[in-house]
Amino acid sequence: MMYEKRRMHPAAIVVGFFKQLRELLFPIILFVFFGSTGEGWFGVVYIGVMVLWFAGLLVTGILSWYRFYYWIEEGELRMEYGVFVRKRRFIPQERIQTLDTSEGIIQRIFSLVKVQVETAGGGAEAEASLTAVTKEEANRLKEALLYKKHQAVVQDEAWDLDEMEMIDEEPVEQMPKPTFTVSWKALFIVGTTSGGIGVVLSAVVAFASQFDQFVPYEAIIDRFGMVLQTSVFLIASIVFIVLFLSWLISIVMTMFKYGNFTVVKNKDELLISRGIIEKRQLTISLERIQAIRITQNILRQPFGFATVYVESAGSSGGKEADFSTILFPLVKMSEVEARLKEFVPSYQLSKNIHPLPKRSLIRYIIRLGVPALLLSAPIAYFFQPYGYFALLSVGVAAILGYSQFKTAGWSFGEGVEQLQLSYRHLSKNIVMVRKKRIQSFELRESFFQGKRKLYTVKAAIKTGLGGKNFQVMDVENEDGDRIYEWYSYQKKQGNVV
């Protein structure tokens, strides 16, 4: 199989230009704000440098586009690129896992897509990227690199061609594909409970701090200092307005990012699409799924809502929190079991959770309570009387420790080759890992755990960034041994080190 060499759409020049601008944004800002603004020859030189800089970026983008070719030959995706130094890259078909597509603003203007080639064992970045190709070309690439081999295998296992011509094929009724969509109401709930307000607020503060040389903050504070000292209501109002605006911005960002969220199961693949301004389309093979993670943060758990993530290997496109891919942004906890059975039937949510022994409770409370006490005690001593409020953090830490203890547990189903671990940091997490996907299993025992006959259970999986670990602390020794024996291919001999 061989394709002629192809170039991307000329819109790739514009995409590359803005990509270079984004990468050089910080030095450009420094040059604009701190460069020479004098008159005469200095001003001319300053303007000339700026014009040459942007012209150089544009020329580089044109040459990069003109010198970039891609084609398929002998079962490989081949690329040739480089302005001054020519490079070639060959990606064998058997290594390619998926071809994910996305549509940014520029791509949508020209009715194009960006294609990212994901390979087995890929890292944080895609193995290759075609920034501007037509949708028809993207479909042809998928057909040639992903589906043609599977079709050939099916044909080899079927009848001979002569026999197939003699068979009158009856029309087969197409079954509806399982589909999951997120309503705008659900997206609003996702935005209001996402905790993104902290990220937005930090960004606003960091952005404002960059202009302290231009905005006279100290003069403003001195001028209005008396008013601020005498008006607690004014201060509270300003804080409320900033928090409210940050909250609204986080909601809008969530709506834009996850708008039109759809999951479709197509045979052994999950097709995920989402986004309003930038439309992303991801393809995840069921065979690449390493684990399923269900998360409930402290805002969603009281209402029974959860977010379901897919931990997959060899994918970098569309990674969300903790480099995971969101499968269901918002779903009722009571519906998770049915949704998993519909879309990823090899993973089953178990309700028969083995809890931790009661003697583990004191360790969870001490683990959080002691650091909180050590931090709050000096504050309470040196900033009396209001410093005593810092001691409330000890109570909060104790409550969180108790909640972590009640959440922690483990399970593996009878006849189901799956390990399920439950744990909490601030959010409650339930992780389901198939036995064959566990890269390593570890039982750890500290000196104090040994005194109380407890283990820390730790399971590791392979992801695109190398690996990810899940653990439950202070499990009963006997329970840890049971999990180890279940995981081992032979009965455990002796003690675990």
Residue from 30, 8, 25 nearest 79 by CA: 8
- Measured distance CA(410)–CA(422) in Å, rounded: 6
State how far the alpha carbon of 174 is from the alpha carbons of 41, 240, 266, in Å.
74, 55, 12
Give mean pLDDT, residues 306-326: 71
pLDDT band at 287 (very low <50, low <70, confident <90, very high): confident
Q: What was the pLDDT predicted at 491?
A: 42
Determine how many CB atoms are found less than 10 A away from the CB of residue 8: 22
pLDDT at 67 over 70: yes
Band (379; pLDDT cuts 50, 70, 90) = very high
Residue 411 has pLDDT above 90, yes or no: yes
Quote the distance between the C-alpha of residue 393 and its chain's center. Answer: 31
Residue 496 pLDDT > 50, yes or no?
A: no
Q: Is residue 164 over pLDDT 50?
A: no
From CA 134, how far away is CA 8, in angstroms rounded? 9
Closest CA relative to residue 246, chosen from 199, 207, 197, 208: 197
pLDDT, position 404: 96
pLDDT tens digits for range 102-133: 888 888 889 999 998 887 655 556 788 899 99
d(CA 86, CA 122) in angstroms, rounded, equals 24
Edge-to-edge, what's the strand order for the sheet holding 418-424? 325-332, 305-312, 289-296, 428-434, 418-424, 409-412, 354-355
Q: Does pLDDT of 398 surpass 80? A: yes
Q: Where are the domains of the chain?
A: 11-160, 184-258, 262-356+408-487, 358-404
163 pLDDT more than 80 = no
Cβ atoms 339, 308 nearer than 8 A: yes
Residue of higher predicted confidence among 441 and 312:
441
Angle, CA of 360, 366 and 367, to the nearest 5°: 90
Asked if pLDDT for residue 229 goes beyond 80, the answer is: no
pLDDT at position 241, please? 83
For residue 308, what pLDDT is reported? 95
pTM: 0.77
Is the pLDDT at 427 greater than 90? The verdict is: yes
Q: Bridge partners of 71? A: 78
Distance CA 324, CA 270 (A): 15
What is the spatial distance between Cα 54 and Cα 137, in angstroms, rounded to a whole number? 31
Question: What residues are paired with 269 via a beta bridge?
Answer: 266, 285
**Phi and psi at residue 492, in whole multiples of 5°?**
-65, 135
Structure tokens at 458: 């730790």
Q: Which residue has the higher pLDDT, 200 or 83?
A: 83
- End-to-end Cα separation, the chain, in angstroms: 54
More confident residue, 275 or 167: 275
Q: Which residue has the higher pLDDT, 156 or 387?
A: 387
Averaged pLDDT, 344-364: 93
- Residue 384 is predicted with a pLDDT of 83
Q: What is the mean pLDDT of residues 23-33?
A: 65
The residue among 357 and 39 whose pLDDT is bigger is 357
- For residue 375, what pLDDT is reported? 93
Task: Extract the tokens encoding 135.
Answer: 């949708």
Distances in Å between the Cα of 199 and the Cα atoms of 108, 250, 427 are 28, 8, 17
Provide CB contacts within 8 A for 351, sequence distance 6+.
none
pLDDT of residue 392: 93
**Residue 448 pLDDT > 70, yes or no?**
yes
Percentage of residues in the chain having pLDDT higher than 70: 75
**In the predicted model, what is the mean pLDDT of the chain?**
80
Which H or E run includes 99? strand 96-103
CA distance 307 to 322: 13
